[in-house]
Copies of this chain bind each other. A is one copy, B any other.
Amino acid sequence: MQLKQYLPILEWGRGYGGVTLTNDLVAAAIVTIMLIPQSLAYAMLAGLPPEIGLYASILPIIAYALFGTSRALAVGPVAVISLMTLTAASAVAPPGSPDFIAATLILALLSGVILMVMGVLRLGFLANLLSHPVVSGFITASGIIIATSQLKSVLGIKASGEAMPELVTTLIENAKDTNPYTLAIGVIATAFLFWVRKGLKPLLVHMGLAARPADLVAKAGPIVAVGLSILAVIAFDLEAKGVKVVGAIPQSLPPFTMPLFNAELWQQLAIPALLLSIIGFVESVSVAQTLAAKKRQRIRPDQELIGLGAANVAAAFSGGYPVTGGFARSVVNFDAGAETPAAGAFTAIGILLAALFLTPLLASLPIATLAGTIIVAVLSLVDYKTPRAIWRYSKPDFAAMATTIAVTLLIGVEPGVIAGVGLSLALFLWRASRPHAAIVGRVPDTEHFRNVKRHQVQTVPHILTIRIDEGLSYLNARWLEEFVLEEVSEHPKLRHLILMCSAVNAIDASALESLEAINHRLADAGVKLHLSEVKGPVMDALQRSHLLHDLSGKVYLSQNEAFSALILDDGTGDEPLVCGPWAERGIM
């Protein structure tokens, strides 16, 4: 049972074969064709030799197939994680250098270990810190940065920078060096790929193909662009005319690599690895959940952490770099009919064969074509609609999103994520520190108590009832003290304060301390503190504290009981029942 939980393969692996096998094989073939150019392209985006993209698509997939819970998720290099890898490793060594490659291996290992530890300790909830507006804003901004950075390969010039200001400046400075042949290939390839994405499927459907196969054929577009541009380079000898090509790629199995153990480097890369892990996890889980729900299947997020962690550890030891579950490839895998993680394993075999036998064919592949595939892929990540929808729905959420986009574009990907997470958390804590509370009075001839500002209710000057509409924690304990003491200072005839706790689900130690402080301070001012409608579990906890013993007043089961008992004690002996909302009586 325990073992099955950690090795989901034991569940779906039993009785594997037949139709499921065939479906998985077909899906794997389609995904392989799509993944070959994508893997090369993303590796180059990350500042790495292209073959590393292939290596990162072999063992990690198999590791995920063993430990992951999603039936259709396809793990490998993805655009945003590649950009984050580039940024993090660039801080340590120049892109492409042996030290840089060593740093990406360390990033993969750290990221794998972080994910696995989070999974074992069930810390998946930490991913909650990335709110939807922050993730959406971050992915949009990353897409813009990636697309802009790839313009250099389309133009055949040099450019650098983690954020837009430097990128755009260097692009403009070097625009004069544009290579016309490179530009021609880049523009044609990009335009073709855009057309494949937008125009090919409708055309195929119009020609009589069913929607799903039309979609899958369209996904093979990049491989056509790759083939045609290789032919163009060879036919017109464009390499001699300055068109940069991928060059010789070793024909090899994924190498066994050992990430360097260097305490200083590890420390430097720890925070980037953490950010990269959490972003990758959030992206991957939302894809996996979407696909699982379509078949009423479930994924287990804490086990997903282990699956993705294993994939990254595998990447670190097999010459790869950080990976996660990709959106595009997973959808293709799902649409192509993948039924079990075995489809992933078959894809891995496909890419392994490509690494062994197809790489010589790719030597003449122009880098501009790969840049085109990246640009087309990432521009689909840029989301124009969400910001407007969020602006209409919630201004604080929009502020978090706008901050994430602005900081990511202007300063860089890591500050962008940190700023977004920080602002979201600050806004949440701000709201949590000011919960809703109402002064209530009795609705005449009933036992109900309602907000004095909204209803015609009975109140008396010597009793004040405050209904608190939220659990009491250290975040709002100080607010509670201030709110209560302010109300008391405004009611000079007060003798009894009742806290109505019908909506108080919990009271932590800080809030307990505040209640004790309120109790003592009110006693100093000659006011008794009472509680009403305390929930069972809260009362159990309070019984382990001094509050009930020290309380100047009493705990009443119901608010009506409290009000009825205290109404006679007004210090005069009269019957002082006053009706009508306070506003009418000039008290508020």
Chain A residues near B (Cβ < 8 Å): 125-133, 285-286, 289-290, 292-294, 296-298, 301, 389-390, 392-394, 396-398, 424, 426, 428-434, 436, 469-470, 473-479, 481-482, 485-486, 488-489, 503, 505-506, 508-510, 512-514, 517, 521-522, 524-525, 541, 544-546
Interchain CB contact under 8 A, A429 and B128: yes
The answer to whether B128 touches A397, judged by C-beta atoms less than 8 angstroms apart, is no
Q: Which among A296, A431, A473 has the highest number of chain B CB atoms within 10 Å?
A: A296
- When distances are taken between beta carbons in the complex, the residues of chain B under 8 Å from A544 are 392-393
Our pick among B128, B293, B301, B477 for the contact of A132 (Cβ within 8 Å) is B477
Q: Decide: A509 near B428, CB < 8 A? Known: A298-B485, A393-B545.
A: no
Q: Which 9 A-B pairs have the closest CB atoms?
A: A293-B521, A131-B474, A397-B509, A132-B510, A125-B433, A132-B513, A131-B510, A294-B524, A296-B525
Given contacts A393-B545, A489-B296, A524-B294, contact A474 B132 (CB under 8 A): yes
Assembly CA distance A286 to B477 (angstroms): 12
Contact status of A509 and B390, CB under 8 A, knowing A430-B125, A524-B293: yes
Sample (27) of A-B pairs whose CB atoms are under 8 Å apart: A125-B433, A125-B479, A128-B429, A128-B433, A128-B476, A128-B477, A131-B510, A132-B474, A286-B517, A289-B482, A289-B517, A290-B521, A292-B485, A293-B522, A294-B525, A296-B488, A301-B478, A390-B509, A392-B544, A392-B545, A393-B509, A393-B541, A398-B509, A428-B475, A431-B506, A469-B505, A470-B505
Q: In the bound complex, what is the Cα–Cα distance between A443 and B510 (angstroms)? A: 38
Tell me which residues across on chain B come within 8 A of A503, comparing CB atoms. 503
Bound state CA distance, A513 and B475, in angstroms? 26
- Give the Cβ gap from A122 to chain B, nearest Cβ, in Å: 9
**A473-B127 in contact (CB<8A):** no
With A301-B478, A510-B397 as known contacts, state yes or no: A294 contacts B128, CB within 8 Å. Answer: no
Q: Please tell me if the beta carbons of A131 and B428 are within 8 angstroms of each other in the complex.
A: no
Q: Which of B131, B293, B478 contacts A509 (CB 8 A)?
A: B131
Whether A301 touches B482, Cβ cut-off 8 Å, given contacts A128-B433, A133-B510, A294-B525, is: yes
Contacts of A473 in B (CB 8 A): 428
Q: Once the chains are docked, how many angstroms separate the CA of A86 from the CA of B398?
A: 42
Residue ID in chain B nearest A133 by CB atoms: B509
Please report the C-alpha to C-alpha distance between residue A505 and residue B469 in the assembled complex, in whole angstroms: 9
Return A395 CB to nearest CB of chain B, in Å. 10
Q: Which of B290, B393, B469, B521 contacts A517 (CB 8 A)?
A: B290
Check if B429 sits within 8 Å of A125, measured CB to CB.
Answer: yes
The reply to whether A131 and B397 contact each other, CB–CB distance below 8 Å, is no
| Neighbouring B residues of A131 by C-beta, 8 Å | 474, 477, 508-510
